[in-house]
Copies of this chain bind each other. A is one copy, B any other.
Amino acid sequence: MFGIQLISGTSNKPLSEEISSLVNVPLTSVIIKNFADGEKYVRVESTVRGENIFIIQSVSPPVNDSLMELLILIDSVKRGGASQINVIAPYLGYSRQDRKSKSREPISAKLIANMITSAGANRLLVYDLHADQIQGFYDIPVDHFLGFSIFAKYLLDKKLKNIVVVSPDVGGVKRANRLADHMGAPIAIIDKIRSKHNQSDVAHLVGDVKGKTAVIIDDIIDTGGSICNAVNEVKNKGAKKVIICASHAVLSGSAITNLQQSVAKKIVFLNTIKLPSTLSNKFVSLTVAPVISDAILRIHQNKSLEPLFVN
């Protein structure tokens, strides 16, 4: 296919390869390395002049390195004369720092937006932002895909009955509502008070889970503390079975152990972040590659992305 190029960063190479295979365009050969002092170096090995470039790079841990790699890739294709630079960051780190909750805090998600834009990106494609409003941090078009329909398809295939969708905190109710709406299920909420960063206190459950299959949905599982508390709370309130659906498997610290040991039956992730290869079969990975591949082709062919959002 003439005029389109896929360039993969190093943060999620398997996803890039899956997309490349679906789009039927080989990944452009790129040198990406770390100098001895940790500085990133990149060089695209064939011409990008006048081409429609799609750079695939999740801003996932090591997050600052992934970000810098993305920015340097953008700079190199910009200076190389690319026609359009589309950034595909299925997971976009720093999105949780999207507002000031105290005086003299940064809004790091805006900082990242300004970096990506001023480096030269013409378009951004992301999955399940922490808040929808982050689209508005950008003046370039942002295509924001929601993973709930992928989770819904998984749940429907499992023919689960009597479902309640649970948000593990008040910030995620809208996300729970979307899935519930789609499934025709009610919602419940864990109304917790978050005492300090990254640590969470479950307060109590609002809504009814007794005897039901509780699907706890969240955008990010980081240390897993908050989600495991949610599992316990839901179980204590009489849920029959618990399934976790989370878009981005950040999985810091002892997250994997915690999740493995929890009473949740299944932990279902999207593959926006490269998953460890050694997870037990309690963990399920659902791919976003078909949607992203379709989006790439539609963008390249000047077709609307609307059909990809509607369902």
Interface residues of A (CB under 8 A from B): 33, 35-51, 61-65, 67-68, 71-73, 75-81, 93-94, 96-111, 113-115, 118-120, 123, 131-137, 139, 141-142, 144, 170-171, 173-174, 176-177, 180-181, 186-189, 191, 193, 197-198, 204, 206-207, 222-223, 250, 252-253, 298-299, 302-306, 309
Q: Is the CB of A309 within 8 A of B102?
A: yes
Q: Given the complex, which residues of B lie within 8 Å of A253, measured CB to CB?
A: 36
> Once bound together, how far apart are the Cα atoms of A136 and B138, in whole Å?
10
A-B contact pairs, 9 of them (CB 8 A): A35-B252, A39-B63, A42-B106, A75-B110, A76-B106, A99-B136, A103-B305, A114-B139, A133-B133
Q: Is the CB of B173 within 8 A of A189?
A: yes
Say which residue of B49, B76, B309 sits within 8 Å of A303 (CB atoms): B49
Q: Given the complex, which residues of B lie within 8 Å of A44, measured CB to CB?
A: 104
> Once bound together, how far apart are the Cα atoms of A177 and B191, in whole Å?
8
Contacts A71-B115, A177-B191 aside, 14 further interface pairs with beta carbons under 8 A come to A36-B222, A38-B64, A41-B197, A43-B102, A50-B302, A67-B68, A79-B141, A79-B142, A98-B136, A99-B135, A103-B306, A114-B119, A133-B137, A187-B191
Q: Is the CB of A134 within 8 A of B133?
A: yes
Given the interface pairs A67-B68, A299-B81, the reply to whether A132 lies near B99 with Cβ below 8 Å is yes
Considering only CB atoms, which chain B residue lies closest to A204 in the complex?
A: B186
> Once bound together, how far apart are the Cα atoms of A193 and B5, in whole Å?
34
Q: Given the complex, which residues of B lie within 8 Å of A46, measured CB to CB?
A: 304
Considering only CB atoms, which chain B residue lies closest to A307 in the complex?
A: B103
> Once bound together, how far apart are the Cα atoms of A98 and B134, in whole Å?
9
> Once bound together, how far apart are the Cα atoms of A303 and B103, in whole Å?
12
Q: Given the complex, which residues of B lie within 8 Å of A223, measured CB to CB?
A: 36
Q: Given the complex, which residues of B lie within 8 Å of A252, measured CB to CB?
A: 35-38
Given the interface pairs A137-B136, A189-B173, A304-B46, the reply to whether A103 lies near B80 with Cβ below 8 Å is yes
Measured between C-beta atoms, what is the minimum distance from A309 to chain B in Å?
Answer: 6
Considering only CB atoms, which chain B residue lies closest to A102 in the complex?
A: B43
Given the interface pairs A39-B97, A64-B64, A107-B135, the reply to whether A189 lies near B171 with Cβ below 8 Å is no
Given the interface pairs A37-B250, A170-B174, A186-B204, the reply to whether A100 lies near B75 with Cβ below 8 Å is no
Considering only CB atoms, which chain B residue lies closest to A51 in the complex?
A: B302
Given the interface pairs A35-B198, A106-B75, the reply to whether A97 lies near B170 with Cβ below 8 Å is no
Say which residue of B68, B100, B137, B189 sits within 8 Å of A144 (CB atoms): B100
Q: Given the complex, which residues of B lie within 8 Å of A76, measured CB to CB?
A: 104-106
Q: Given the complex, which residues of B lie within 8 Å of A136, measured CB to CB?
A: 98-99, 107, 109-110, 113, 133-134, 136-137
